């Protein structure tokens, strides 16, 4: 039987973020690269398929082993965080273990940050790279300068822009490969300096009672205004209901910050935030009313930079916080707050130039599901620069990218109502892909997409992966339920 030096195989219940169910799987924890290559060599000999497990913040089956497969928990791989080089204008080049979370990265280098991060600080650096994550301003992988890739054969490749041959090609292809090509054990990142007291301004550039022309104009203007390079995005509630466009700028360090104008969900009281996320999930219409009242058009609120970048920290900790013993936790559960904060969560990528066509087609599909909009938490849209990564869900693009993310609260719904939301999501992917063939569902947030639509949409991605897998993992040792669905022909 496979075993690491220190830790043996255990059966664990693995539960993707926002999901209702957990999945039991055999998992082994590896704490060093040596342990890991031993386990990989043994798995290859025994023809056992393995899946890398990072922070377990995926919304789908990305870190779930296949039937009979083995999960390798790499979240505790030695971090070895260190400065590699002091760059100009205060920037740092640092090396960290792939299992380092953004929370740990901040603890190691508190005066510096990665600009484009996912909104939970419990995501690992390798997990963010594997999914080619983005923020409301850019792609995380643009901060990555190099990484060490351990192949299933035990061979190690040092991948960077300066490498040659396969290692150079893999530097481009690993972001978005979901662990299909190798294990990223160490990652070199470029960090920007940031003052601990640095605040960001969140501007409500547009607010309207219905989706209209002004929303799209404000969205484009916010994206094209260089002042708002910390992020931007629009929110649409219900079926073409209330809209909001927010745009974010870096404030002067001595900027006055009145407490009553603090942006929602950005402080460090994570317990309070877990309650807020739990209540918003249970009562989405109250959340809509609070957000739209907080951000009338023209208002500016402020946020501390860390709380702003990771504003979903509370959501991510809700499972442990809301499950605690005590009166307030019991009361929350009594009114129906589910500590899992279950969501149906889906994202679609499309060329920025068809944002409007995408949104119109999306709501036409929603028209056929009257009443469902009442269960929707929100639909949000961000506009990003062209994507340089070939394995990103939309691939490498010449033009800007639009992302629409739709979140439905599942906490208070009957099984029939839930099934109706899932059908709506399936229908959006199916119909929009037929009408607008450039559309791709995100490989990060795709749970409710039909298998055949998903595979047709991402055939180019699968071909790219197979091309490199034949060179770096010819026996197909590295997989997951997610990869098996996409790559198995």
Environment class of 345 (CB within 10 Å of its CB; exposed 0-12, middle 13-18, buried 19+): buried
CB nearer to ligand FAD: give 355 or 442: 442
Residues 167-196 that bind ligand FAD (CB under 6 A): 178-179, 183-184
Environment class of 206 (CB within 10 Å of its CB; exposed 0-12, middle 13-18, buried 19+): buried
Q: Identify the CA nearest to 203 among candidates 117, 281, 113, 299.
A: 299
Work out whether 152 is an interface residue with ligand FAD (CB under 6 A): no
CB nearer to ligand FAD: give 52 or 211: 52
Cβ atoms 339, 281 nearer than 8 A: no
Dihedral pair phi/psi, residue 251, rounded to 5°? -90, 160
Selected range binding ligand FAD among 120-128, 195-203, 348-356, 363-371, rule: CB under 6 A: 120-128
Q: What is the DSSP string of 157-189?
A: EEEETT--HHHHHHHHHSTTSTTSS-EEEEEEE
Distance CA 318, CA 212 (A): 35
Work out whether 138 is an interface residue with ligand FAD (CB under 6 A): no
Q: Which segments within 280-429 are labelled E, that is strand?
A: 300-304, 343-351, 376-384, 401-409
> What angle do helix axes 355-367 and 213-224 make, rounded to 10 degrees?
140
Considering the complex, what minimum distance in angstroms separates the CB of residue 119 from ligand FAD? 4
CB nearer to ligand FAD: give 137 or 222: 137
Residues 10-39 that bind ligand FAD (CB under 6 A): 17
- Give the containing element (helix H, strand E) for 287: helix 284-294
Cβ atoms 406, 425 nearer than 8 A: yes
Work out whether 341 is an interface residue with ligand FAD (CB under 6 A): no
Considering the complex, what minimum distance in angstroms separates the CB of residue 485 from ligand FAD? 12
CB nearer to ligand FAD: give 80 or 298: 80
Size of the site for ligand FAD (CB under 6 A): 35
Work out whether 485 is an interface residue with ligand FAD (CB under 6 A): no
- Residues 299-338: x/- map of binding to ligand FAD (CB under 6 A)? -------------x--xx----------------------
Work out whether 340 is an interface residue with ligand FAD (CB under 6 A): no
CB nearer to ligand FAD: give 167 or 183: 183
Residues 425-454 that bind ligand FAD (CB under 6 A): 444
Work out whether 233 is an interface residue with ligand FAD (CB under 6 A): no
Considering the complex, what minimum distance in angstroms separates the CB of residue 347 from ligand FAD? 8
Q: Identify the CA nearest to 94 among candidates 162, 144, 157.
A: 144
CB nearer to ligand FAD: give 44 or 56: 56
Distance CA 34, CA 39 (A): 9
Terminal C-alpha separation, the chain: 30
Residues 39-68 that bind ligand FAD (CB under 6 A): 51-58, 62-63
Neighbours of 288 (CB within 10 A): 20
Fill in the DSSP letter of residue 141: G
CB nearer to ligand FAD: give 130 or 151: 130
Residues contributing to the site for ligand FAD (CB under 6 A): 17, 51-58, 62-63, 74, 98, 118-120, 123-124, 126-128, 130-131, 133-135, 178-179, 183-184, 312, 315-316, 444, 480
């Amino acid at each position: 039987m496979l075993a690491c030096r220190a830790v043996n195989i255990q059966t664990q219940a693995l539960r993707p973020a926002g999901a209702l169910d957990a999945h039991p799987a055999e998992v082994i924890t590896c704490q060093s690269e040596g342990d890991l290559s031993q386990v990989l060599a043994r798995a290859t000999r025994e023809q056992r398929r393995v899946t890398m497990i990072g922070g377990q913040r995926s919304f789908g089956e990305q870190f779930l082993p296949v039937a009979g497969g083995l999960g390798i928990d790499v979240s505790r791989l030695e971090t070895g965080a260190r400065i590699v080089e002091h760059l100009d204008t205060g920037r740092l080049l640092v090396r960290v273990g792939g299992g380092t979370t953004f929370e740990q990265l901040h603890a190691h280098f508190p005066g510096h940050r990665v600009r484009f991060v996912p909104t939970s600080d419990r995501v690992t650096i390798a997990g963010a790279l594997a999914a080619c994550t983005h923020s409301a301003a850019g792609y995380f992988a643009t901060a990555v300068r190099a990484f060490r890739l351990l192949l299933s054969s035990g061979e190690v490749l040092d991948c960077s822009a300066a490498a040659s041959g396969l290692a150079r090609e893999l530097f481009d292809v690993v972001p978005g490969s979901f662990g299909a090509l190798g294990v990223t054990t160490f990652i070199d990142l470029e960090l920007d300096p940031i003052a601990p007291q640095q605040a960001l301004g969140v501007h409500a550039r547009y607010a309207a009672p219905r989706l209209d022309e002004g929303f799209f104009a404000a969205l484009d203007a916010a994206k094209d205004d260089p002042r708002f390079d910390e992020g931007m995005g629009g929110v649409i509630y219900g079926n073409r209901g209330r809209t909001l466009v927010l745009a974010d700028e870096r404030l002067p360090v001595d900027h006055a910050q009145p407490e009553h104008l603090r942006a929602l969900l950005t402080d460090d009281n994570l317990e309070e935030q877990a309650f807020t996320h739990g209540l918003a999930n249970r009562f989405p219409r109250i959340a809509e009313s609070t957000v739209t009242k907080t951000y009338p058009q023209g208002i500016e609120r402020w946020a501390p930079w860390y709380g702003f970048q990771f504003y979903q920290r509370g959501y991510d900790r809700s499972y442990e916080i809301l499950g605690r013993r005590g009166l307030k936790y019991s009361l929350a559960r009594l009114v129906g707050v589910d500590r899992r904060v279950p969501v149906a969560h889906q994202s679609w990528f499309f060329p920025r130039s068809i944002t409007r066509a995408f949104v119109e087609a999306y709501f036409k599909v929603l028209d056929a599901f009257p009443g469902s909009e009442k269960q929707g938490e929100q639909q949000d849209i961000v506009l990003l620069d062209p994507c340089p990564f070939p394995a990103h869900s939309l691939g490498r693009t010449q033009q800007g990218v639009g992302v629409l993310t739709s979140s439905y609260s599942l906490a208070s719904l009957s099984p029939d109502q839930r099934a109706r939301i899932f059908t709506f999501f399936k229908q959006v992917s199916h119909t929009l892909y037929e009408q607008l063939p450039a559309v791709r569902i995100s490989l990060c947030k795709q749970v409710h997409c039909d298998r055949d639509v998903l595979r047709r949409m991402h055939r180019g991605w699968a071909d790219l992966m197979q091309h490199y897998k034949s060179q770096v993992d010819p026996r197909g040792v590295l997989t997951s339920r997610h990869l098996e669905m996409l790559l198995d022909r």
